[in-house]
Structure 1
Amino acid sequence: MTLYRANPKDGVAWITGGSSGLGRALAKDLANQGYAVAVTSLPEDPADTLIVETAQMPGHVKSFPCDVTDEAGMARTAAAIEEQMGPIVLAVFNAGNYIATPGENLVVRDFHRSFAVNYFGIVNGVVPVVDHMRVRGRGHVVLVGSVTAYSGWPTTAAYGGTKAAINILAESLKYDFDKLNIRVQVINPGFVDTPLTEKNKLPMPGLMPVHRASRRMARGIRKGGFEVTFPYHISWPLKLLGLLPRPICRFVIGHTTKWWGRPLHFDRRLPGEKDPSRDKTT
């Protein structure tokens, strides 16, 4: 049996993180293909202008605001999309954040927040949407990762960790999803010029315009295999680099990012120690 692949004639495409960046561009591309597109973003980040911009396309866009970290809210959102728009045949879990985690200034809540959005934000959507797909006997789920999943990069201890976890999540689910006729893909883009990457202070080789990255993603959804990664001249060398002995891998990445010459910036006081420059004596 040929594994199901989503088609705009079959139902709705649901995109999280769809009001800006790569998700917004993909929503346009899918609407242009004829999909009815349900876009989920934070309530304070509405998709109103996206709806206007896609009004004349073959498909259309409707907004379903929700915080992806809200487990119950994501279940209600999936149910609302099914009720108001029709069956979800394609779910693209794209919402994510980037919080730099330099080793000299680690903050526990940065790790919690990264996994809450990037990883559990996917899980909170996958579980309810797959419940619907399983009953219908078909579906298509896309998890958005990153090439930073292939090996460790400076300041990505939290972000890269979430993307590696997403790749393992997709690989693990595929065993059973194939039996359920639910296609699962993981998309690992390189560096894409979006508001998210603007937070990154590292050199970003092969930085892609968002519209080009969106087209590659849409093409991968339409006819790609389990993993879709781009641009090839960046993603494949990084994939191969991850197979080398770790000292070589770290040396190459450290050299590429100019990290070896970077000075450390941190407070040398022990936790709880007072700042002597602020002590006043009389």
Structure 2
Amino acid sequence: MVRPTPNDGCVWITGASSGIGRALAERMARAGWTVAISARRGEELEAIARNHGGRMHSYPLDVTDREAVRETVGRIEAEQGGIALAVLNAGTHQPMRAKDFSAETVRKLIDLNVLSVAECLEALLPGMRQRGRGRIAVVASVAGYRGLPSASAYGASKAALINMAESLRPELEEEGIVLQLVNPGFVRTPLTDRNRFRMPMLMDVNDAAEALYKGLRSGRFEIVFPRLFCWFMKLFRAMPYVFALPLMRRMIPRGKV
């Protein structure tokens, strides 16, 4: 499988105003890529782009807006060249205890975490098919491996992304398009700062961006980091319910979330 290089075209990163998305954008700009960054916060994007010597370009976008997604992909390809690599990283996390269960919260997370990814995929694929090549990384989470307390909405959205990527990978590969799945563990970002529980093996965001960058240059389907924690979660996913459910009861957050 051919390793992507800056000569192939530009990279588009959504959710790039903070966290892993921003750190990855900065890492790829340093590596010589032309980087198009998108998020809703236009002023922050502009400030980030200005610091990277013309390598980074701001494209403010609400990824839940279907027409805006198509327009933005068209603008990027017209102004920066074909999108050789897309990292669909936009998403959010909202803890939700069973006592506070809300269909509106589920809808909000599914709209942003799942449907916006589908909109981006639909907008990207025609150009990549025409060129006969391309690479797309879908950022999910190890929270999608198994249902966890307070993650009934977030985990469900990430499980949907995992299933979607698994389903699409073989067919897209036949068309010359590489689809990769990114399943991070705990990374220090504004999203994880909301958590009120201990986060095992919490990873620095720049270390996470470096691991993601290396993964994007590989042929692996799934990119995980930190590796040890992700492999623990894979074992937990395989555990029978008779053992898993008692462990999950011990994970229930006590007190306020």
TM-score range, shorter chain: over 0.9
Query: TM-score scaled to structure 2, two decimals?
Result: 0.95
The aligned counterpart of 1:93 is 88
Asked if 1:42 is matched to 2:40, the reply is: yes
The aligned counterpart of 1:228 is 223
Asked if 1:156 is matched to 2:151, the reply is: yes
Written as runs of structure 1 = structure 2, the 5 A alignment for 1:173-184 is 173-184=168-179
Distance 2:41 2:193 in 1: 22
Retained in 1: the 8 A contact 2:109–2:154? Answer: yes
Unaligned runs of 5+ in 1: 266-282
SS at match of 2:72: helix
Which has more radius of gyration? 1
Identity of aligned residues (%): 35
The aligned counterpart of 2:64 is 69
Greater shift in the superposed pair: 121-130 or 88-97: 121-130
Distance 2:9 2:181 in 1: 21
The one-letter amino acid paired with 1:201 is R
Unaligned runs of 5+ in 2: none
The aligned counterpart of 1:203 is 198
Higher helix share: 2
SS at match of 1:13: strand
Change (3 A) 1:198 1:224: farther
SS at match of 1:242: helix
The aligned counterpart of 1:111 is 106
Retained in 2: the 8 A contact 1:16–1:39? Answer: yes
Query: TM-score scaled to structure 1, two decimals?
Result: 0.87
- After superposition, the C-alpha distances for 1:101-158 in whole angstroms (9 at most, x for unaligned) are 1101111111111011101111111111111000110000000010111111111111
Q: How many residues align?
A: 257
- After superposition, the C-alpha distances for 1:170-213 in whole angstroms (9 at most, x for unaligned) are 11111210111000000100001000111122321111110010
SS at match of 1:205: coil
Task: Find 2:122's aligned residue among 110, 120, 127.
Answer: 127
| Runs of 4+ with deviation above 6 angstroms | none
Change (3 A) 1:240 1:45: farther
The aligned counterpart of 2:19 is 21
The aligned counterpart of 1:271 is none
